[in-house]
A and B are shown apart, each in its own frame.
Chain A
Amino acid sequence: MFRYLAGRLAQALLVLWAAYTVTFVILHVLPSDPVTLQLAAGGVDVSQLTPGQLHSMEARYGLDEPVLTQYFGRLWDALHLDFGMSLTQNVSVGTLVSDRLPSTIVLALVSVGLFLVFGVGLAYLASYVQWLPARVLLRRLPAVGISLPTFFVGLLLIQVFAFSLGWLPARGTEGWRSVVLPAVTLALPGSAMLAQVLIRSLGDTWQEPYIVTARAKGLSRWAVQLRHAFRNAALPALTLLGVLVGYTVTNAVVVETVFSRNGIGQLAQQAVLGQDVPVVQAVIVIAAAIFVAVNLVVDLLYSFLDPRVAHTARVT
């Protein structure tokens, strides 16, 4: 068990380091002229500068050193949660991120709660209902949910609930009422995917002998599904959960843009539009860290719930 834990932790750290390195390579090595890219983001026209001015600008942003030196320097700073200065706004990236992180976390938590409720509820109903038309309809629903683009759902909800009915605000970050529509939008694809997996694994579990035994004992379908089928069927869905939470964080980029919420997703969108390299790098690393951490917790939880996992030999 301890070996499994240590190995899994090391793997998570490796992925995080790789995420930082890959984004660094993409942002600092891939562009033919990273200096111009970054200085242009700060509103500096490089062609107008004298060589001396250019050099002092490069020195100011630490762009005059060799790439490897920059890499290790920035990695060291990043380990101390210092991501440098934003190129477009005269603020440190750390301040920008920490100002906006809370509202995104609230949004993500609410939407994870919602997609658990929606997903499990839908799967439960789809497996319980026996009237064929309703059953078919419920089973087709997840496929629709997966196909609808997040921004379309968001705009539709705004149109219906904010503009036509006037129940909830269409945009903004203030108050709990502003969280409802974005959270529902964000929860939809996740709940559809969760429901799809759960419906399938509930169907598989329903064939197991212990279900027949439970039914033969005289338990009702509802009780069997709740006590016996669901607990076993939930295991495959648990693996998916880590992935889904990660996608909730990345989908927040689109949803926060649709609802003009002042969160980290909107920050990412603005940073990419302004080619603000340090901010993009910081947001990606933070999102990757959340993603990796959630998956780590899910894996550990999985081995706690199903001890076979930690003991099986690794097959690669």
Chain B
Amino acid sequence: MSENILVKGPGQAAVGAPSAPVPASAVLPVPAADDASASAGSRPDAGSGPDAGNGPGWTDTGDGRPGERHPAGGRLRRPAAAAYEVARPFLRRPGFVLAAAFIVFVVVSGLFPGLFTSYDPTATAPAEKLRGPGLEHLFGTDELGRDLFSRVLHGSALTIRATGGAVLIAVVAGLAIGVIAGFLGGWIDSLLMRTVDVALALPLLLLALAIVTALGFGTLPVAIAVSVGIVPGFARTTRAEVFRVKGQAYVEAARTGGASWLRVMWRHVLPNSWGPVMVLAILDFGTAVLSISSLSFLGFGAPPPAAEWGTLISSGRNYLVTSPWLSLLPGLFVGLVVFGLNHVARTLEEVRP
């Protein structure tokens, strides 16, 4: 990590990086591949400080290659300017900005619901029950007089946790399977890929039902159930990328330089192959939110009084005739979140070269 920061500024690179006698021909292919994946990899979190530099591309230069030979060195700009350059195509799309702002609002309000609502999600007030949406209660109140807006925001925390967990599990498992299959090849590869084919051939929700039956109900089982449906796609993309990277000259150079397979895999193959997987992960967030709220709507989520979005919608069904907002407003909220996520993902995919 410290090496990475040192080589970040073009001027410092020559001083900071220890020079190693590597043949120039072996070094040359590195920067070209690097620069492309670095700009693609850091795009989603552009401007988030040191993290932006922790993208795939930097690891290689931090590996001890002399930075002054970096032909792309002149193109490396100061972070602020680079961040602006990356962000510009997005800022010119008002729809994207709106969708991203809404997603940020949902995440922040899910993590700190107290910032946006002063109501306690579990405090009952029988005199206030089944009030329609209004200024006092934005989404109205439920059958026990609890503020619905507050309950939705507090439910966000659970849903965000489940979604994040599902995508995280899927990314880690998918990367592991893909790297192992792509790197080892042979019968292990065939076995893993046939398994993935079978999993891809089955609808996501079916396996999720079996897993929830076996593991019981709650946020974690639901997250695991949903992640199992996403893993195959990740595994397959990773494998394809690993195959591509494995044949690159810099991998060969690193091997010739005496690096072990494990080190080559960790420092060269993995950092250069997870870019497309990350794009896929962003695309899958919307699907994950939909599946998770479907499963909690069916009653497999966290037990009451905690209420995920799906649970809220499901319990509001009993009052659909008299107080339709109880299930329709949270339902609309979920729809907006999924739409926002899909829109953000699609824009990222479009703008990506």
Contacts and interface: CB of A to CB of B under 8 A. Distances in A.
B214 A30 contact: yes
Interface string B212-252: 11111000000000000000000000000000000000000
Interface residues of A, number: 51
Contact of A26 (B197, B211, B313, B331): B211
A158 B324 CA distance: 10
The contact size tier of chain B is 35 or more
A192 B290 CA distance: 15
A149 B335 contact: yes
B76 interface: no
A76 interface: no
Contacts of B214: 26-27, 30-31, 37
A249 B339 CA distance: 23
Interface string A143-187: 110111111100110110001000000000000000000000000
A316 B193 contact: yes
B122 interface: no
Interface string A5-39: 00000000011001100110011001100000100
A144 B335 CA distance: 8
Interface stretch (A57-65, A108-116, A201-209, A280-288): A280-288
A22 B334 contact: no
Contacts of B201: 15, 291-292, 295
Contacts of B212: 272
Contacts of B82: none
Contact of B202 (A15, A269, A271, A280): A15
Contact of A257 (B195, B298, B335): B298
Contacts of A284: 206-207, 209-210
Nearest to B338: A147
Contacts of B314: 151
A197 interface: no
Contacts of B117: none
B215 A143 contact: no
Contacts of A251: 205
Contacts of A143: 339, 342-343, 346
A253 interface: yes
Given A149-B293, A149-B338, A15 B198 contact: yes
A147 B331 CA distance: 11
Contacts of B290: 147, 149
A79 interface: no
A194 interface: no
Contacts of B343: 143
B297 interface: yes
Nearest to A12: B201
Nearest to B339: A147
A151 B202 contact: no
Say what secondary structure dominates the interface of chain A.
helix
A272 B335 contact: no
B225 to A, nearest CB: 10
Contacts of B204: 250
B339 A273 contact: no
Contacts of B23: none
Contact of B310 (A19, A151, A291): A151
A155 B328 contact: yes
A288 B202 contact: yes
B335 A147 contact: yes
Nearest to B321: A163
A277 B215 CA distance: 12
A297 B342 CA distance: 31
A277 B212 CA distance: 11
A71 interface: no
Contacts of B207: 22-23, 26, 284
Contact of B313 (A37, A155, A269, A273): A155
B328 A287 contact: no
A14 B194 CA distance: 10
A273 B314 CA distance: 14
Contact of B331 (A149, A246, A292, A295): A149
Given A15-B198, A22-B198, 15 more contacts: A22-B199, A23-B210, A31-B214, A144-B339, A147-B342, A149-B290, A149-B297, A151-B331, A152-B334, A155-B328, A251-B205, A272-B213, A277-B213, A284-B206, A291-B203
10 contacts: A15-B201, A26-B207, A27-B214, A143-B343, A147-B286, A147-B338, A155-B327, A254-B298, A283-B209, A288-B203
Interface of A: 14-15, 18-19, 22-23, 26-27, 30-31, 37, 143-144, 146-152, 155-156, 158-159, 163, 246-247, 249-251, 253-254, 257-258, 268-269, 271-273, 275, 277, 280-281, 283-284, 287-288, 291-292, 295, 316
Ordered nearest first, which 4 A-B pairs have the shortest CB separation? A152-B331, A147-B339, A18-B198, A147-B338
